[in-house]
Amino acid sequence: MAQGELIIKGGFIVDPTRKINGDVGDVAIKDGKIVEKVSSSAKVIDAKGKVVMAGGVDVHAHVAGPKVNAGRLMRPEDKLRAGTCRSNMAQKNGYRMESGFSIPSTFKTGYEYARMGYAFVMEAAMPPLLAPHTHEEIHDTPIIDEAALPVFGNNWFVMDYIRKGEVENTAAYIAWLLKVTKGYGVKVVNPGGTAAWAWGLNCLGLNDRVPYFEVTPAEIMTGLMEANEYLGLPHSMHVHQNDLGNPGNYAITIDSLKLAEGIKTKNKFGREQVMHSTHLQFHSYGGEGWGTFCSKAKEVMDYVNKTKNITIDLGCVTLDETTTMTADGPFEHHLHGLNHLKWTNVDVEMETAAGVVPYVYDPNIKVCDIQWAIGLELALYAKDMDRTFITTDHPNAGPFTRYPRVIKWLMSKQARDAVLNSFKHKDKVLDAISLHTIKRELSLFEIAQMTRAGPAKCLGLGAYYGGLAPGMLGDVAIYDLNFKDMPRDPEKIEAAFQRAACFVKSGEIVVKDGEVVSNGHKKTVWVNAKMPENPQVTRDVTQAFTKGTYTMDIRNYPVRDYLAPHPFVIEYDVEA
Amino acid sequence: MPKLIKGVGCPYCGSSCDDIEVLVSDDETKILEVHNACIIGTNLFHHANDPTRPKLPRMRQPDGSMKEVTYPEAIDWMAKTMLKAKKPLIYGFGSTNCEGMSAVARIAEKAGAVLDNCATICHGPSFLAIFDNGYPSCTLGEAKNRADVVVFWGCNPMHAHPRHTSRYSIFPRGYFTQKGQMQRTVLCIDPRETDTAKLADHHLMIDQGHDYELFDAFRTVLRGFDIPETVAGIPREKIKEAAEIMKKAKFCMIFFGMGCTHTDGRNHNIDAAISLTRDLNEHTKCSIMAMRGHYNIAGPGQVWSWQFGFPYCIDLTKGSHAHMNPGETSSVDLAMRDEVDCFVNVGTDAGAHFPIQAVQHLKKHPFIAIDPNFCMASEIADLHIPVRIAGVDEPGVVYRMDNVPIQFRAVIKGLPGVPSDEELFDMVYERMCELTNTQPVWLAAKADRKYPESPAVI
């Protein structure tokens, strides 16, 4: 956190947390936090004629950890697509070297997010056994604050407790694991299916039984939601559903979302949902095969719109060559069977698995174009933008550096039509989608809801991130856009969001005119939900190590404090 | 009262066993007993007691002798030498912690150096195959809990990874493999009758250098085609039998070693091995794993991949971007062409492992060895800087052969005044910044950075 005072003067403030939509005003920052006012000696940043928003919050991106690194390692060719090189100036001023396009190096990840005015990023899947690796990468990612979600959906302990109907034990195990891995919340990836993958199988239906564990994906999700609310964690269960990426999967998607019905939110962090369904684009497919593949975004969003205790993020396809990576091991194997590119897999004992496959979203391929349209349709059919967040499931549907492009498409029908008209199989694509019939163009206020206020609230971080109210963290992005006179050329919207005119992180100017000017002061955010010790869970966990189901010593399992040198810990007592 | 420290990681092979128990003296300066480790690991711990361990840097004098100098002198010399060199090569890192690898990257960027690790002379061909074909693998616990067919191809863990078979691959009773060895079928493919081959249920004594053909034969058989009467010296029926065993497995695990990476075919052998693994996944579950040599040789591949995007052979001399092209930017090739004008050997022994011509070229230029002990590299070096031993008197993260990070601990106090790799590299980096009038860049503010405590006991 930077000491001293700063005032951002005369910008068009867009802050959905306080319902401010383009009013001209000042934002004052003192000692890294937003305050009512500062003294006359404060450093002045002139934002006249520019849009001022809180620092961006990314609810779901794969930016640090073993599978991200497996992707970097196996794809030297990705480095050729990096574009810009480190300038002489950056070299002289000691900014770290940047590399990679779809899976950028940690240094580039931090710098690129900062250039786009993002303050907080959630690493979407951390295998608990490999948590020290994730934290080492987070440590090496400059500027941005990060947290990581450990994966629970295929964890042996969790499946065992849920089969026996033991909510309290599930909760105690989650609390213990969050503490020892310095994790943030409950991530679920292809519940049951990834566990089945350890034997080369999968669970595609909600009621398929997981081999040996005899639970179903539906039971795992329900059990984890109950345990999550038992603990009152800041974030809800964050789920990547079963049957990802297959034609006709929208039905199972809606069935999974229905599991949230009847589950009540319980927390002190302002969160309203009990389920966050991530990268919904991959789960909103109709058709019976790739030939009849079509969008079911409307059907899925109709359900989401009327169900208040669900939040979603988009997972927009950006039509780039990218690298898919997910803890959905069987899906990556399946994908590799479709595109025959290289395939990396990592099964992690007792906990999870992961796969990595490069993928080219080619605009000349009909299915890719339909996927592109579905991501945007989801956003444009959404009624509550505080529950709908912009992501590309980085790097699965496209790199996070394409967020500005997604924003452009959402804000401009002209930009969408230009892409639609460029498709080789335009007619076939139009038959399968409804994007071309949607006239809606999102406003800056709605974009701020989807990239700031909404995700911060969904993560239970609404008191710190996503807004500009006094008391919140001093993360402010200034974009070169005139609120009163928005550019007619949609490319200018993309350019403005790609390189912030100025970005203040924790009260320190880290980006000026799109260039990084400081390595900032990053923080690692994690949750310590304090519960009385649960002897059953302690015994079960200890036995897994002493009986050697794990191949590591239990003393070396918890992430040591020095690996997360700038902790920002959300600590509270669980009320049973 | 001597203290027994449990759950200690072993600084020897890629198995990175972390169930070692070490009895240390009351004042935490002497190692008294080592339990659970193999004979090599045990000896590595006891080496730390050696009273002749170097405690000060030594600089080569004009008369050829070595003279002890202070750390600040050594750091100054190294900083100036790195800055002066046009294309320094920093090589090694099989036997140190990730904190050191991360710290050296700052020096490499600042100096415009080539960064390379021991993979360049061992599992580099595996990396090349992974670039082409991916890496369907798993953690060692998966092999332990599930594998009922285990294939050792071109590797001999009974000697190179002494506890591998008892901790992970053959003998242990895992969750779904309660009968241990009884439940596992072991195949060994090796031209020699190694001790691992003697242990195997089936030893396919392959003609040396014909690995690719045999991989190919397995794939052909699995796809239902016929093969010649003998392939690579193995009769058709034997190949079919082995293929059937792998296909019928519930979980097939293939381990491969330098018998594949450093025989004819090299990366193509691994490419075929990965393809075989992929093919087997059409029938059952199959994983493959490289038998990495040192306890943290997987580490630099991980650390530098997240920092620069490449696991090894990283050329940073351009300043603007990192560039990797094994053959061009690999250590031995650079040395053979006499392209580097300064050599830094860290936590390995290039003097013992490199071809003699390569060493002769390297020796023409400033040669710096950073190692806790005396080794061939340190004896021919112009400057030898001793550091603490990662895993013995210095804690830190290491990556096991399956890329699982293990947080090693220190069991004894380091020699007074001797820095860790990380501390040494940070000091050299700071000196380089002083000399060039630039600000050092710490991603986390220097004052807030916490070095691992020593000894770290939870």
Q: What is the pLDDT of residues B289-322, one digit of tens each?
A: 999 999 999 999 999 999 999 999 999 999 899 9
Tokens 């060994």 belong to B188
A349, A550 in Cβ contact below 8 A? yes
A44, A5 in Cβ contact below 8 A? no
CB contact under 8 A, B144 and A522: no
CB contact under 8 A, A68 and B306: yes
Q: Looking at chain B, which residue has its C-alpha nearest residue A550? A: B141
CB-nearest to A198 from B285, B397, B449 is B285
Between CA A91 and CA A98, with CA A93 as vertex, the angle to 5 degrees is: 45
State the sign of the Cα–Cα–Cα–Cα dihedral A41, A42, A46, A48: negative
CB contacts of A79 in chain B (<8 Å) are: 309-310, 321-322, 324
A416, A435 in Cβ contact below 8 A? yes
Tokens 């390569």 belong to B358
B125, B272 in Cβ contact below 8 A? no
Mutation pick from B140, B306, B430, B451 vs chain A, by most beta carbons of A within 10 Å, is B306
Exposed / middle / buried, residue A262 (Cβ in 10 Å: 0-12, 13-18, 19+): exposed
- First CA to last CA across chain B, in angstroms? 19
Residues B51 and A532: their CA atoms lie apart, in Å, by 49
B23-51 mean pLDDT? 95
Note the helical H segments in A46-166: 66-74, 77-80, 88-92, 106-115, 131-139, 156-163
The topology (CATH level 3) of B124-290 is Dimethylsulfoxide Reductase; domain 2 (3.40.228)
CB contacts of B439 in chain A (<8 Å) are: 93-94
> Which of A568, A525, A562 lies closest to A64, judged by CA?
A525
pLDDT band (50, 70, 90) for residue A88: confident
pLDDT band (50, 70, 90) for residue A2: low
More confident residue, A379 or B458: A379
Mutation pick from A552, A557, A566 vs chain B, by most beta carbons of B within 10 Å, is A552
ω before B72 within 30° of 0 (cis)?
A: no
Q: Tell me the CA distances in angstroms from A485 to A51, A88, A416, B389, one per residue in order.
A: 11, 36, 21, 64
Q: pLDDT value at position A82?
A: 83
DSSP one-letter string for B236-288: HHHHHHHHHHHHH-SEEEEEE-HHHHTSTTTHHHHHHHHHHHHHHTTTSEEEE
The two three-digit tokens of residue B437, written as one number = 């009038």
For residue B250, how many other CB atoms are within 10 A of its CB? 15
Q: Is the pLDDT of residue B443 over 80?
A: no
Q: Is the pLDDT of residue B423 over 50?
A: yes
Q: Is the pLDDT of residue B458 over 60?
A: no
The two three-digit tokens of residue B213, written as one number = 């053909």
User: What's A97's DSSP letter?
Assistant: P
A305-310 mean pLDDT? 96
SS3 at position A291: coil
pLDDT band (50, 70, 90) for residue A89: confident
> Which of A319, A245, A307 lies closest to A282, judged by CA?
A245
Q: pLDDT value at position B444?
A: 64
B383-407 mean pLDDT? 96
Residues 88-147, chain B, touching A (beta carbon < 8 A): 98, 102, 109, 127, 130-142, 144-146
Q: pLDDT value at position B452?
A: 42
B322, A108 in Cβ contact below 8 A? no
- What are the strands of the beta sheet with B149-153, ordered from one edge? B202-204, B185-189, B149-153, B251-256, B285-290
A265-283 mean pLDDT? 97
A258-262 mean pLDDT? 95
Prediction ipTM score: 0.95
Residues B181 and B170: their CA atoms lie apart, in Å, by 5
> Which of A127, A71, A3, A30 lies closest to A355, judged by CA?
A71
Residues A473 and A521: their CA atoms lie apart, in Å, by 12
What is the per-residue pLDDT across A174-218, written as a single tens digit (0 to 9) for each?
A: 999 999 999 999 999 999 999 999 999 999 999 999 999 999 999
φ and ψ at residue A445, rounded to 5 degrees: -60, -45
Residues B136 and B399: their CA atoms lie apart, in Å, by 18
Q: pLDDT value at position B453?
A: 42
CB contacts of A345 in chain B (<8 Å) are: 134-138, 287
Residues A124 and A121: their CA atoms lie apart, in Å, by 9
Provide the percentage of residues in chain A whose pLDDT is more than 70. Answer: 99
pLDDT band (50, 70, 90) for residue A93: confident
User: What's A401's DSSP letter?
Assistant: G
What is the per-residue pLDDT across B92-109, written as a single tens digit (0 to 9) for each?
A: 999 999 999 999 999 999
A214-230 mean pLDDT? 97
Query: B390 at the A interface (CB within 8 A)?
Result: no
Torsion of CA A196, A200, A205, A207, to 10 degrees: -40
Q: Is the pLDDT of residue B455 over 50?
A: no
Domain B58-121+295-448's class? alpha beta
CB contacts of A505 in chain B (<8 Å) are: none
Residues A575 and A566: their CA atoms lie apart, in Å, by 28
Q: pLDDT value at position A181?
A: 97
B277-299 mean pLDDT? 96
What is the average pLDDT value for chain B, to the nearest integer?
Answer: 94
> Which of B285, B302, B253, B306 lies closest to B127, judged by CA?
B302
**Residues 6 or more apart in contact with residue B35 via CB below 8 angstroms:** B20, B21, B22, B23
What is the average pLDDT value for chain A, to the nearest integer?
Answer: 95
The two three-digit tokens of residue B91, written as one number = 């090589």
Tokens 């060692």 belong to B140
Mutation pick from B10, B286, B305, B437 vs chain A, by most beta carbons of A within 10 Å, is B305
CB contacts of B285 in chain A (<8 Å) are: 198-200
B25-41 mean pLDDT? 95
Residues B445 and A522: their CA atoms lie apart, in Å, by 10
Q: Which of A76-85, A437-446, B380-389 has the lowest mean pLDDT?
A: A76-85
